[in-house]
Structure 1
Amino acid sequence: MHGPLDLRLLITFVHAAHSGSLSATAVQVGRTQSAVTMQMQRLEEMLGQSLLHRSGSGVRLTGSGERFLAHAERILKMHDEAVSAFSEKGLHGSMVFGSPEDYLISFFPALLRSFGTKYPDVEIKVVSAPTAELRALLQSHKVDLALVSTPNLNDVETIIRTEPLAWVGSKPALELHDFGDTVPLALPASNAMDHRAAREAMARAGLRYKISYASNSLAGLIGLARSGLAVSVMTQEAVPPDLHILNAPLPELPHLGILLAFADADHQSPAVAAFADHVRAVLPTL
């Protein structure tokens, strides 16, 4: 290896490893794609190892790249910790935060506004995905921390808040929708907790239903509910004021617990730890 490692090269490499695209990395680090390509070539020359497989569809890590990624992330984390500890300007750093879409709409603006006022030099990038996908993103370290849902309300030590699920329609009562004896439902993907909760509740109640529409977007589900063509399910806090929460004869839906999950629970950067503490303090009050 020739000379010390350049932190700028490590930052670019970590972005490329997580995004799988040199063009996306160029946008993230504020450089041209050709400059990013040269940086990666320079890093590979310094290490004497090929770190990235390049193809028309993007880049992926080689075996050496997989091993080096852990070292690069650890070096950058230690750098951020050192800067934060000795900077007169307070906390610095960046993180990738994940959340289901309904929690983002309901809670994230207030969380970000209050955290940003206190720590203006912390950069937060946001990924919106269902809990099942967020778990995978955490495991692959593409997200640093995330709000996720759990149906297990007994885990009181880690649950920050509980949210009731609600049936949502365009009219204030199910009978006014004139659906007949089979209720059309608009639900998210089958691996989503509210999808399973809706189907299980209808089955327990012995009510006839059909899944008429599917959308992984909360905006899509809201639009379908507004159309009057189906009943949807979402967390109660996410229900817009022009739609109605429906009760009997529809069965009661469960509550979901909201908790924080981490890519690395034992080694959090100061920025991630500070935001996690802020979420735990503020989310129950919103």
Structure 2
Amino acid sequence: MAHDLETALLRAFVSSVRSGSISRAAAALGHSQPALSNQLRRLERTVGQRLLHRGTTGVSLTKSGEIFLPYAERILALSAQGLAAAGPVVTGHCGVGLMEDFVTPSLVEALSDFSGLHPGAKLELVTGSGPLMKQSLAEGRIQLALCDPFYLAEAPRWTARLPLAWSAARTLDLRQDPLPLVLFSQPCRWRIPVFDALEAAGIRWDVVFESTALGAVQAAARAGLGATALLPANVEPGTATDELPALPEVEIALTRHTGTDGDPLLDAVENLLRRLTDLTAATG
């Protein structure tokens, strides 16, 4: 008998993996821990394989879970993208500015699928710092920007709060004094809440590696150079940790170039970004 994969179960699984803890995932999704645990068991029964190792320090992926995770993320992203793309066919050009942190595989795949469904629409992606987003909007190179609202001259159309999560190699001793950190280079205002959380817990820190590229930050953390704070979607499997102080949420905002209200293409892309942002917040 064939079984369907429920998106609610997939969201419970992805959230648990990215947060490294069933209790944190339950809090992020607004469920009780027993309810989320039940969803995970239902998913494992549907798949027919154990997907997670559960322990006192959190959860980690089984071999089957490692194989299944990208499919689960893909299905969730396609669900969000399908809702955004179900409207009328759109054409034209749309420049989209994204902060580096938000360029996840799921987002890139969703935008690629959107282009495939609307061959008359051309999407141009620009990634970079907040000041670059501000400049690109002013020059008209991009019509939509999703980044830290601090850098936006235009009033945001909407904002969202996203969680940050710690990522560190299993080989890294998190009791080091000072704690080595891997962070995005300046200007990055998300560094401040990381420093504040550590200082409030009495933990000294030292920035040992900085980069403007997400891949470089992930690679440095994976190699054990230091701990880093990322959006949960960018925390690589096996690197989530709850041994460091909880991190606060950060704010992102979307704005559009003046005079683009009512543009069907921009409306469709904005709706897609909103749904993907909501998905990121829900699976944090």
TM range (shorter): 0.5 to 0.7
Distance in structure 2 (CA, Å) of the matches to 1:271 and 1:254: 34
What is the alpha-carbon distance in structure 2 between the residues aligned to residue 90 and residue 236 of structure 1?
Answer: 33
Whole-Å separation in 2 of the counterparts to 1:131 and 1:107: 22
Structure 1 SS opposite 2:101: helix
- Tell me the secondary structure at the aligned position of residue 245 of structure 1: coil
Q: Deviation above 6 Å: which 4+ runs of structure 1?
A: none
Distance (Å, rounded) in 1 between the aligned partners of 2:262 and 2:142: 12
Aligned to 1:98: 97
Alignment-derived partner of residue 236 in structure 2: 240
Residue 145 of structure 1 corresponds to which residue in structure 2? 144
- Structure 2 counterpart of 1:212: 208
Identical columns (%): 22
| TM-score under structure 1 length normalisation | 0.58
Task: Work out whether residues 137 and 143 of structure 2, in 8 Å CA contact, stay in contact via their aligned partners in 1.
Answer: yes
Higher relative contact order (Cα pairs below 8 Å, separated by 6+ residues): 2
Q: More displaced, 215-224 or 189-198?
A: 189-198
CA pair 278-228 structure 1, distance change in 2 beyond 3 A: closer
Q: Report the CA distance between 1:156 and its aligned residue.
A: 11
Q: How far does the alpha carbon of each residue in 1:168-207 deviate from its partner, in whole angstroms, 9 at most, with x for none? A: 10018xxx52663210111112321322221222222221
Q: Residue 123 of structure 1: CA displacement?
A: 0.3
Secondary structure of the equivalent of 1:246?
coil
List gaps (5 residues or longer) in structure 2. 1-87
| RMSD of Structure 2 on Structure 1 (CA) | 2.9
Is the 8 Å Cα contact of residues 98 and 128 (structure 2) preserved in structure 1? yes
Distance 1:221 1:282 in 2: 23
Written as runs of structure 1 = structure 2, the 5 A alignment for 1:241-260 is: 241-242=237-238, 244-248=239-243, 250-260=244-254
Task: Provide closer, same or farther for how the CA distance between residues 212 and 241 of structure 1 changes in structure 2, counting only shifts above 3 A.
Answer: same
User: How far apart are residue 208 of structure 1 and its match?
Assistant: 0.6
User: How far does the alpha carbon of each residue in 1:128-147 deviate from its partner, in whole angstroms, 9 at most, with x for none?
Assistant: 11334322322332221121
**Whole-angstrom distance in 2 between the partners of 1:264 and 1:121:** 23
Q: Which entry has the higher C-alpha Rg, 1 or 2?
A: 1
TM norm structure 2: 0.58
CA contact (8 A) 1:150 1:256 kept: no
Matched AA of 2:241: L
Give, in angstroms, the shift of residue 124 of structure 1.
Answer: 0.3
Counterpart residue type for residue 242 of structure 2: N
Counterpart AA for 1:142:
R
Distance 2:255 2:192 in 1: 22
Give ranges in structure 1 of 5+ residues lacking alignment: 1-88
The residue aligned with 1:272 is 266
Q: SS at the partner of 1:177?
A: coil
- The match for 2:126 is 127
Q: Measure how far apart 1:279 and its partner are.
A: 2.5
The alpha-carbon deviation at position 113 of structure 1 amounts to: 4.2
Q: Which moved more, 1:214-223 or 1:139-148?
A: 139-148
